[in-house]
Amino acid sequence: MKKKAKKKTAKRALRGRDYLSVDDFSTAEIKSLLALTAEIKAHPRRYRRSLEGKMMALIFEKPSLRTRTSFTVGIKQLGGDSILLTPADINLGKRESVYDVAKNLERMVDGIMIRTFGHDICTSLAQHASIPVINGLTDLEHPCQAMADIFTVLEHKKSLKRLKLSYIGDGNNVAHSLVLIAAKLGTTMFVATPEGYKPQAAIMERALGIASETGAHIVWTADPVEAAREADMVYTDTWASMGQEAEAAARRAVFAPYQVNKALISHAREDVLFMHCLPAHRGEEVTDEVIDSLNSVVFQEAENRLHAQKAIMLELLRE
């Protein structure tokens, strides 16, 4: 059962929509959300009753610090509230079907955020629920993180058109969302991974298709030095994501040449930003010397999850 199409206006184009992928929003819509994020961060008191009476269901199938805190605090700062639902409460697809969960929640809350493993769970929930669904992380994408990441870059660099953004490490969900948002915004982005750990082909093909329309330059390379050379931003993430713990030792050996350390980051611009979605495995994908340096903006980036997600919830939920 699909949602009924809703009329859109210039001011409320995102109302009632889902945010499951960066690709769900147009370039103009992403820019509008980034502008709203800046406004909310600068003037939070202006928005403290914007979603008064609204309730979010927060579904967590994976552990969380930043996602749980930022969504819980964010909806409260907008005047709404939230209810936390864990595997013990739902056990999606086992205790209750995704369809049944969607049909129950749409009658009790105004929006759903889900942090889960399979992206199909997220899309199925959105298909069956008549209320907005936000992807708080799946194995395929991390779109809220990408919005906060780009906002963080803009706070320091102001324009994306002349920048080189580089992601070095595993071609995972974070890399997928970053490459899509870079393509949407016309940015140059290099993705450096070992040959067997590239981003999914379908994601890269979609990013390249978008780039052909926006003027973005999207490049995959196996060479971390090529990616880091003259970069304005160097980004990395854990080499073994949640659910890949059994592969951790093997991955450490494969990814060792991709560690972001002083030697690698020396190829970037002097004012390079170092970014990481956290949690970081210090001494593995990044050294203390880099993550604790003056170039590191990882905690500002983490804080910006709060502001970016407030903007997303506000646009999707407000009347």
Task: Mark whether 139 is an active-site residue.
Answer: no
Out of 237, 251, 259, 309, pick the active-site residue. Answer: 237
Q: Classify residue 14: in a domain, yes or no.
A: no
Indicate the range of 92-96, 105-109, 201-205 predicted with least confidence.
92-96
Residue 8: its pLDDT value, please? Answer: 47
Out of 17, 66, 115, 176, pick the active-site residue. Answer: 115
Provide the residue type at 219 as one letter. V
CA distance 121 to 313: 20
Q: Classify residue 6: in a domain, yes or no.
A: no
Q: What percent of the chain has pLDDT over 70?
A: 95
Q: Classify residue 10: in a domain, yes or no.
A: no
Task: Mark whether 277 is an active-site residue.
Answer: yes
Out of 119, 142, 206, 276, pick the active-site residue. Answer: 142
Q: Classify residue 3: in a domain, yes or no.
A: no
Task: Mark whether 142 is an active-site residue.
Answer: yes
CATH number (domain holding residue 232): 3.40.50.1370
Q: Does residue 158 register a pLDDT over 90?
A: no
Question: Domain range for residue 72?
Answer: 22-141+305-317
Task: Mark whether 305 is an active-site residue.
Answer: yes
Residues 133-146 have a mean pLDDT of 98
Based on the structure, what is the number of domains in the chain?
2
Out of 145, 206, 259, 307, pick the active-site residue. Answer: 145
Task: Mark whether 237 is an active-site residue.
Answer: yes
Shared domain for 175 and 288, answered yes or no, is yes
Pick the more confident residue, 5 or 316. Answer: 316
Out of 17, 66, 119, 305, pick the active-site residue. Answer: 305
Q: Classify residue 13: in a domain, yes or no.
A: no
Residues 211-223 have a mean pLDDT of 98
Residue 57: its pLDDT value, please? Answer: 98
Shared domain for 65 and 194, answered yes or no, is no
Shared domain for 57 and 99, answered yes or no, is yes
Residue 173: its pLDDT value, please? Answer: 97
Nearest CA among 306, 312, 264, 319 for reference residue 289? 264
Shared domain for 297 and 152, answered yes or no, is yes
Nearest CA among 300, 318, 306, 312 for reference residue 154? 300
Shared domain for 73 and 135, answered yes or no, is yes
Q: Classify residue 8: in a domain, yes or no.
A: no
Q: What is the mean pLDDT of the chain?
A: 94
pTM for the whole structure: 0.94
Handedness of CA 25, 26, 27, 33 (dihedral sign): negative
Shared domain for 191 and 232, answered yes or no, is yes
Q: What is the pLDDT of residues 40-99, one digit of tens each?
A: 999 999 999 999 999 999 999 988 999 999 999 999 999 999 999 999 888 776 778 999
